[in-house]
Amino acid sequence: MSSDNLSAVLYAKNDLRLENRPIPEPGPNEVLLRMAQVGICGSDVSYLTKGFIGDFVVKAPMVLGHEAAGVVAKCGANVKHLKPGDRVAIEPGIPCRMCDFCKGGKYNLCPDVFFCATPPDHGNLCRYYKHAADFCYKLPDHVSLEEGAILEPLSVGVHACRRAGVTLGSKVLICGAGPIGLVNLLTAKAMGATSVCITDIAENRLQVAKEMGADHTLLVSTGDAEALAKEIKELLGDMPDITIECSGAEPSIRLGIFATKSGGMMVLVGLGPPEVKIPIVNAAVREVDIRGIFRYANCYPLALDMIASGKVNVKPLITHRFKLEESAKAFETARTGAGGAIKVMISCE
């Protein structure tokens, strides 16, 4: 094995360096992975450009990357379900397994979770990385490593659609046609939603959404939320039972509330300003529930199944590719969205 573990390390805001780090040794329940593909997420860009997200502050050098897939290089003594050479998707969050949340099946809410590239935990945008084996999912031969890396954002879509109660016949409004809006679109349709309307402020994003299966699209400015809600009702033939808000923008959250049918559900996936002015009485007296999501729990197997079975095609999401050595350029593309960038993929091989 080479001793080259080139890693993309964030030292401080706007200070990204490529450097060699030691190759880790896997514990009895872990595997050592030769990293293959790592996608860039909006949160990675936030850490790079701002140095923090909410209370998570970059205080020490941190390896970036959490949307990843790799190849098993070495297995810990207790690992049975994987062997060297297996190609796997990596679920980046490892919970404590013992607290009430973990024991209750909501490990995404574990307060002691280890999570790749959330300070102070190191990510996997590097050549070699070790991880708990039960959070590595073997990819069938026909699923690529790039698709393996997309399982992470796709799992966000699965968790959101599950918590939203999307099912056969659902009418769904998705606000925002960025990568998160698009994975929610793919998932909602796969779960049986018969009518999906997607909104965005950029026409080109709506084109992509249309190609990826949106039944209706609506270009929104920061206009009249109540008027836009009426337009959505007209497009869908009824008010949507479910709104999945993927932008985090205040006008969009407001639109989501006005648009959703009484007794329905609005799931907040996008994160924007910490405090938002909301027409709360309108939501409350019409029993429109507002539900947030945090990452995902027990979603990777379904996300993998959706791709492996051909139910969803995530390949159109990957628009730009870079090598690990070109990480700075990759992040710049992700930050600006230049060239219609949706998902920027970095190859670590």
Partner 1 sequence: MDNEYPTLHGVGDMRMGKHPIPEIGPNDVLLKMSKVGICGSDLSLVYKGRLGDFNVPYPMGLCHEASGVVMQCGQKVMHLKIGDRVAVEPGGPCRICTFCKSGKYNNCPEACFHAGPSPTPGCLARYFKHTADLCFKLPDNVSQEEGAIIEPLAVGVHACRRAKVTLGSSVLICGAGPVGLVCLLSAKAMGATNILVTDIRENRLQTAKKMGAHSTLLVRNEMPEDLAKKVTKTMGCQPEITLECSGADDSIRMGIFATKSSGIAMLVGIGNPEVKLPIVNAAVREVDVMGVFRYINCYPIAIDMIAKGLIDVKPLITHRFKFEDYRKAFELFKSGEDGAIKCMISCD
**Binding footprint of partner 1 on the chain (CB under 8 A):** 54, 101, 104, 106, 108-109, 163, 253, 262-263, 268, 271-294
User: How far apart (Å, rounded) are the C-alpha atoms in residues 5 and 38?
Assistant: 15
Smallest distance, Å, CB 284 to partner 1? 2
- Find the shortest distance in angstroms from Cβ 2 to partner 1: 39
* CB of 106 or CB of 321, closer to partner 1: 106
Query: How are beta strands 318-323 and 343-347 bridged, if at all?
Result: parallel
Give min distance, CB of 278 to partner 1, in A: 5
Is residue 291 within 8 A of residue 159, CB to CB? The reply is no
The least distance separating partner 1 from the CB of residue 67, rounded to whole angstroms, comes to 18
Contact 259, 236 (CB under 8 A): no
Is the Cβ–Cβ distance between 160 and 271 less than 8 Å?
Answer: no
> How many residues are recorded in the chain?
349
DSSP string, 22-52: PPP---TTEEEEEEEEEE--HHHHHHHHHSE
| Closest to 346 (Cα-Cα) out of 1, 5, 8 | 8
Structure tokens at 161: 């659609």
Shortest Cβ 288–partner 1 spacing (Å): 7
Q: Considering only CA atoms, give the Rg of the chain.
A: 20
> C-alpha angle 41/44/47, rounded to 5°?
150
The nearest distance, CB 82 to partner 1, in angstroms, is 31
Q: How far is the CB of 276 from partner 1 (least distance, A)?
A: 5
Q: Which is nearer to partner 1, 55 or 211 (CB)?
A: 55
Asked whether 173 and 260 are in contact (CB, 8 A), the reply is yes
Strand 56-57 vs strand 128-132: parallel, antiparallel, or unpaired? Answer: unpaired
- Indicate the residue among 138 and 163 with the shorter CB distance to partner 1: 163
- Minimum distance from residue 328 beta carbon to partner 1 (Å): 29
**Can you read off the two tokens belonging to residue 264?**
């329905």
Q: Which is nearer to partner 1, 234 or 349 (CB)?
A: 234
Beta strand pairing status for 56-57 and 52-53?
A: antiparallel
| 85 vs 274 by CB, closer to partner 1 | 274
Q: How far is CA 34 from the centre of its chain?
A: 22
Residue type, 184: N
- With respect to partner 1, which residue has the nearer C-beta, 196 or 283? 283
**Distance (Å, whole) CA 100 – CA 84:** 34
